[in-house]
């Protein structure tokens, strides 16, 4: 719906939502024509090796009629839906599930950026009543270094796309009707299902700060209802997203990330403030083109646009409005926190709240700036529209002059204190071009404010928006490189090697530690050549595109025991051939060529039995597994758990005459049927024995023998085993996520509750009891 027109003087009354949408779509197409036409696709870093493979796996599971709870292809098996960032339950993922990849994912990402841009437009107009301010904010929301950096992660674009809408919907809910409460809850749920905890948390920090500022100016009797409505929004959103949140928190509790996981990797460096003015300040060029800061390789740029920055600085220092003060304060706080351990604030908070340690990259805290800074710029333009333009030119000119001097100082520091891989010529040109954009931007603003020609204003305001676009498109080289879409087609490994690939339930591939190290730091300059090399080497999660199971992989959350074993395997100084045999590794990286593979013929079957059982703690077991004399056909180490003790006790009680170890008689395994989330086989044994499956142990896997529940044991530190009594048995292992099922019921119940909230208003007492206020 079109915002209500304002009675104030508008510098760009023509910039209504429909025309603004056309401008945004046109600018996006101008920025990425080949990608949007489906001729090329993004591939760089996490987009290609993490995000796209997960989307491909979800897409393939959808067309198989499966809900992908488990991914058997990476890390010897890993939870999929519970990763949260896979967006398995996000409703609009249906777009890229139904339509062909990779173009459907491209449109999905840009569609959410357009959604977010419109949200910023409406939010900025609601607050500033300025169409030019709203339009400029909407353009700046997409065209900045942070947004382009976030295109590496599809789920980030979803979280960003919904961020302004959640803020807008919650504001309406806190001061509106029960229908606004439900709409805000549904909107917040969309962002929750994106799976970006930092952005979701910061969205609610912004909402909370703005809400408290509004509540304190309300009459006392209206304060509790206003906060109660906001609390109900949060409760409803949490209930609606419980189907995703509960599996995630369950996986988090069993993952390698805890309070001791405190690496604070990739924080903003101490010199990082200079990059707000000179994007290439102390940056090095990667082989494929993008530049990154020294010590921070998460985002390739957080440059907001120097003209936008001038507006923000002016309004932050001169506008007393509570919203401006709050948004400015949050922006400053986020910048201070983004320094991580390079600053003073983040270590204090981390010490006070140890859970903060699971946030691995403090520089992520800069991402909400792409919402805060455009909104502040909209307030700056609104001040010009509601007062004498002449009186506002001098402060703006002073801000522009200050930024120009700081930019020149930054260039001076780059010249006199260069880093090893600095490119002075590129940095100088980069800084001078920013200064040029600042001068042109300031001149256009002054011209627009002083002209009385109404026919000229649409031209000047349009050029102002184009200037923001041009500034960002030229601020760094190759920020989002792309390659022909054909290079993302599945089956590349098989077609190049002209041989059958390993399959789940048969065998796996293993990237050696030396190959992994070289693939992580490759120096191939040609994007297509680099991508082909990574695909043929099955690096990261690229094995998923060819449906080839692999020992390692890439996951945000990794099962704790599996991570322990994988770290030991890749840190080992020798080659633990016995462990690789147990993992059913049939192909390993060639020591001569990263994209070639060496066949291993001594691997075990996927399901083995008859080993001598030793109950051991994880450290001792891992040490034995990494020894060169470990034989997976004769030895298995069960974790020292109550379940393992019960199995030994049951065997002794049922067969008191057996004093020897398990494994005196191996089971004969037959009728194996192995799929992503179900394993069945028959086993015939003359004595008690253990059947071992080299798939990651996770508590959601449930075992049954002859239709009766059985204990699933943890074997060889991180894998699965079932103890079998003598006889012929049917064994079934199936993945059942109880937290997912519980969350499904909670989400369904909350969804049924929403119409009741919509129809019947809450009294003050009811709302307070629901929120604990």
CATH of the domain at 632: 2.60.40
137/377 Cα distance (integer angstroms): 7
Kindly state whether residue 73 falls inside one of the protein's structural domains.
Answer: no
Residue range 146-156: mean pLDDT, rounded: 95
Quote the CA–CA distance of 292 and 181 in Å, as a whole number: 42
Instruction: Please tell me whether residues 565 and 594 are part of one structural domain.
Output: yes
> Which residues on adjacent β-strands are paired with residue 162?
none
Q: Which of 538, 571, 599 is the last residue of a domain?
A: 599
Q: Estimate the crossing angle of helix 131-142 against helix 457-473, to 10 degrees.
A: 20
Structure pTM? Answer: 0.92
Q: How far is CA 118 from CA 24, 112, 276, 302, 652, in A?
A: 9, 10, 25, 21, 69
Q: Where does the pLDDT of residue 346 fall: very low under 50, low under 70, confident under 90, or very high at 90 and above?
A: confident
Q: Do 534 and 622 lie in a common domain?
A: no
**Average pLDDT value for residue range 306-313:** 96
The dihedral over CA atoms of 651, 657, 658, 660, expressed in degrees to the nearest 10, equals 140
pLDDT value for 662:
57
How many domains does one find in the chain? 4
Calculate the alpha carbon distances from 743 to 24, 183, 558, 755 in Å: 38, 21, 21, 19
pLDDT exceeds 90 at position 225: no
Domain termination site, one of 599, 622, 639: 599
Task: Assign 769 a pLDDT band (cuts: 50, 70, 90).
Answer: very low
Q: Phi and psi at residue 425, in whole multiples of 5°?
A: -60, -45
How many angstroms from the chain centroid is the CA of residue 659? 53
| pLDDT category of residue 703 using cuts at 50, 70 and 90 | very high
Indicate whether 31 belongs to any domain.
no
In angstroms, rounded to a whole number, what is the distance separating the alpha carbons of residues 552 and 569?
Answer: 10
Report how far residue 375's alpha carbon sits from residue 136's, in angstroms, rounded to the nearest whole number: 9
Answer whether residue 447 is part of any domain: yes
Domain closes at, from 548, 566, 599: 599
The DSSP result for 700-721, as a single string, is TEEEEETTEEEPPEEETTTEEE
Half-sphere exposure of 323 (CA within 13 A, CB side): 17
- In a shared domain, residues 476 and 489: no
> Please, what's the b/e burial string for 86-125 (b: 16 or more CB within 10 A of its CB; e: otherwise)?
bbbbbebbeebbeeebbbbbbbbbbebbbbbbbbbbbbbb
Least confident of 256-265, 412-421, 651-660, 680-689: 651-660
Q: Name the DSSP letter for residue 358.
A: G
How far is Cα 27 from Cα 33, in angstroms, rounded to an integer? 10
* Contact present, 291 and 284 (Cβ < 8 Å): yes
Alpha helix stretches (DSSP H) within 499-641 = 513-520, 527-536, 560-571, 577-582, 618-625
Phi and psi, residue 521, nearest 5°: -120, 70
Q: Of how many residues is the chain composed?
A: 773
Say whether pLDDT at 761 is over 80: no
Distance CA(289)–CA(26), nearest Å, equals 26
Residue 134 domain flag: no
- Residue 47 DSSP symbol: I
Q: How many separate helices (H) and strands (E) can be counted in the chain? A: 29, 20
Domain presence at residue 383:
yes
State whether 459 and 320 are in the same domain. yes
Q: 436: how many CB neighbours lie within 10 A of its CB?
A: 12
Quick check: is 474 in a domain? Answer: yes
In whole angstroms, what is the distance from residue 108 CA to residue 157 CA?
A: 9
Beta strands 597-599 and 608-609, pairing class: unpaired
Spatial separation of the C-alpha atoms in residues 765 and 597, rounded to whole Å: 68
For residue 176, the model assigns a pLDDT of 78
What CA–CA distance (Å, rounded) separates 430 from 592? 41
Q: Are 762 and 770 contacting, i.e. CB atoms less than 8 angstroms apart?
A: yes
pLDDT value for 62: 97
Say if residues 299 and 451 touch (Cβ distance below 8 Å).
no
**Confidence band of 667 (pLDDT split at 50, 70, 90):** confident
* pLDDT (0 to 100) of residue 773: 36
Q: Which of 556, 483, 539, 491 is nearest to 102 (CA)?
A: 483
- pLDDT given for residue 315 in this prediction: 93
CA atoms of 514 and 389, how far apart (whole Å) = 64
Assess if residue 72 is contained within a domain.
Answer: no
Write the Ramachandran bin of 498: left for phi over 0, alpha for psi from -120 to 50, otherwise beta.
Answer: left
Looking at the fold, whether 207 and 276 belong to one and the same domain comes out as no
Same domain, 194 and 319: no
For the chain, how are helix, strand and coil distributed in percent, rounded to 5? 55, 10, 30
CB 733 within 8 A of CB 678: yes
What is the C-alpha separation between 547 and 339, in angstroms, rounded? 40
- Residue 641 near residue 664, CB atoms below 8 Å: no
Q: What is the pLDDT of residues 28-64, one digit of tens each?
A: 999 999 999 999 999 999 999 999 999 999 999 999 9
| 189 and 317 together in one domain | no
Do 455 and 326 lie in a common domain? yes
Query: Over 90: is that where the pLDDT of 177 sits?
Result: no
The parent domain of residue 574 ranges over 484-599
Percent of the chain with pLDDT strictly greater than 90: 74
Distance CA 568, CA 581 (A): 16
Handedness of CA 222, 224, 227, 232 (dihedral sign): negative
What is the Cα–Cα distance from 583 to 77, expressed in whole angstroms? 11
pLDDT for residue 257 is more than 70:
yes
pLDDT at 655: 56
The angle at the Cα of 66, spanning 60 to 72, to the nearest 5 degrees, equals 70
Average pLDDT of the residues of the chain: 90
- Residues 298 and 45: their CA atoms lie apart, in Å, by 10
95 falls within a domain: no
- Provide the pLDDT for residue 665: 65
Write the CA distances from 210 to 160, 164, 200, 204, 768, integer angstroms: 19, 13, 16, 10, 20
Lowest mean pLDDT among 250-264, 474-488, 550-564, 669-683: 250-264
Q: Of 6-15, 207-216, 630-639, which range is least confident?
A: 6-15
pLDDT greater than 80 at residue 552: yes
Judge whether residue 649 has pLDDT over 70. Answer: no
Between helices 424-450 and 389-416, what is the axis angle to 10°?
A: 180
Tell me 559's DSSP state. B
Shared-domain flag, residues 268 and 407: yes
What would the mean pLDDT of 746-768 be, rounded to a whole number?
75
Does one domain contain both 476 and 577? no
Q: pLDDT tens-digit profile of 499-546? A: 788 999 999 999 999 999 998 888 888 999 999 999 999 999 999 999
Q: What is the pLDDT of residue 659?
A: 44
Backbone angles phi, psi at 79, to 5 degrees: -60, 140
Opening angle at CA 132, ends 128 and 135, nearest 5:
95
Q: Are residues 620 and 549 in the same domain?
A: no
Gap between the Cα atoms of 604 and 608, Å rounded = 7
Are 550 and 658 within one domain? no
């Amino acid at each position: 719906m079109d915002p209500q027109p304002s009675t104030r003087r508008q510098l760009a009354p023509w910039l209504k939502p429909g025309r603004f949408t056309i401008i945004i779509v046109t600018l996006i197409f101008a920025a990425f024509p080949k990608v949007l036409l489906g001729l090329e696709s993004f591939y760089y870093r996490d987009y290609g090796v993490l995000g796209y493979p997960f989307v491909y796996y979800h897409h393939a599971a959808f067309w198989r009629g499966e809900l992908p709870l488990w991914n058997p292809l990476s890390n010897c098996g890993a939870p999929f839906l519970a990763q949260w960032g896979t967006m398995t339950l996000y409703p609009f993922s249906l777009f890229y599930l139904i339509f062909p990849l990779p173009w459907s994912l491209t449109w999905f990402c840009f569609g959410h950026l357009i959604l977010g841009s419109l949200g910023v437009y409406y939010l900025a107009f609601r607050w500033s009543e300025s169409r030019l301010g709203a339009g400029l904010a909407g353009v700046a929301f997409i065209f900045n270094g942070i947004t382009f950096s976030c295109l590496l992660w599809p789920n980030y674009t979803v979280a960003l796309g919904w961020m302004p809408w959640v803020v807008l919907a919650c504001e309406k809910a806190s001061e509106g009707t029960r229908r606004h409460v439900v709409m805000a809850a549904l909107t917040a749920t969309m962002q929750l299902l994106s799976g970006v905890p930092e952005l979701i948390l910061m969205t609610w920090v912004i909402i909370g700060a703005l809400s408290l500022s509004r509540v304190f100016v309300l009459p006392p009797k209206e304060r509790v209802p206003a906060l109660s409505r906001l609390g109900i929004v949060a409760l409803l959103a949490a209930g609606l997203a419980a189907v995703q949140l509960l599996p995630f928190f369950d996986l988090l509790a069993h993952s390698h990330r805890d309070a001791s996981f405190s690496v604070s990797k990739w924080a903003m460096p101490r010199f990082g403030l200079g990059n707000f003015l000179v994007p290439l300040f102390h940056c090095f060029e990667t082989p494929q083109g993008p530049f990154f800061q020294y010590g921070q390789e998460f985002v390739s740029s957080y440059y907001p646009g120097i003209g936008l920055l001038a507006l923000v600085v002016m309004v932050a220092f001169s506008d007393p409005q509570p919203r401006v003060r709050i948004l400015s304060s949050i922006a400053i706080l986020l910048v201070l926190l983004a320094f991580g351990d390079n600053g003073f604030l983040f270590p204090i908070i981390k010490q006070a709240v140890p859970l903060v340690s699971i946030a691995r990259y403090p520089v992520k805290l800069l991402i909400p700036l792409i919402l805060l800074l455009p909104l502040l710029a909209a307030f700056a333009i609104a001040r010009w529209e509601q007062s004498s333009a002449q009186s506002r030119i001098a402060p703006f000119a002073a801000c522009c002059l200050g930024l120009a001097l700081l930019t020149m100082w930054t260039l001076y520091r780059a010249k006199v204190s260069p880093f090893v891989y600095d490119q002075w010529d590129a940095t100088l040109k980069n800084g001078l071009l920013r200064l040029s954009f600042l001068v042109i931007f300031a001149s256009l603003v002054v011209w627009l404010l002083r002209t009385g020609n109404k026919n000229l204003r649409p031209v000047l305001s349009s050029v102002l928006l184009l200037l923001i676009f041009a500034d960002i498109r030229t601020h760094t080289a190759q920020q989002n490189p792309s390659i022909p879409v054909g290079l993302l087609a599945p089956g590349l490994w098989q077609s190049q090697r002209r041989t059958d690939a390993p399959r789940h339930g048969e065998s796996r591939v293993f990237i050696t530690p030396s190959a992994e190290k070289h693939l992580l730091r490759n120096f191939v300059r040609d994007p297509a050549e680099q991508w082909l090399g990574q695909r043929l080497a099955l690096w990261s999660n690229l094995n998923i595109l060819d449906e080839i199971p692999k020992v390692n992989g890439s996951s945000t959350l990794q099962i704790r025991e599996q991570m322990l074993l994988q770290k030991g395997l890749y840190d080992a100084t020798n080659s633990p051939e016995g462990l690789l045999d147990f993992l059913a590794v049939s192909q390993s990286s060639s020591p001569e060529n990263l994209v070639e593979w060496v066949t291993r013929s001594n691997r075990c079957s996927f399901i083995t039995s008859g080993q001598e059982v030793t109950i051991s703690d994880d450290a001792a077991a891992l040490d034995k597994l990494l020894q060169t004399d470990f034989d997976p056909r004769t030895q298995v180490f069960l974790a020292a758990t109550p379940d393992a003790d019960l199995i030994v006790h049951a065997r002794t009680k049922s067969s008191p005459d057996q004093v020897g170890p398990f494994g005196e008689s191996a089971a004969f395994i037959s009728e194996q049927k192995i799929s992503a989330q179900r394993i069945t086989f028959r086993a015939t044994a003359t004595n008690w024995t253990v059947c071992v499956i080299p798939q990651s142990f996770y508590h959601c896997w449930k075992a049954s023998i002859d239709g009766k529940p059985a204990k699933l044991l943890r074997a060889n530190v991180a894998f699965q085993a079932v103890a079998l009594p003598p006889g012929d048995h049917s064994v079934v292992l199936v993945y059942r996520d109880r937290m997912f099922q519980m969350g499904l019921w909670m989400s369904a119940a909350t969804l049924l509750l929403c119409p009741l909230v919509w129809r019947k208003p809450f009294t003050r007492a009811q709302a307070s009891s629901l929120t604990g206020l």
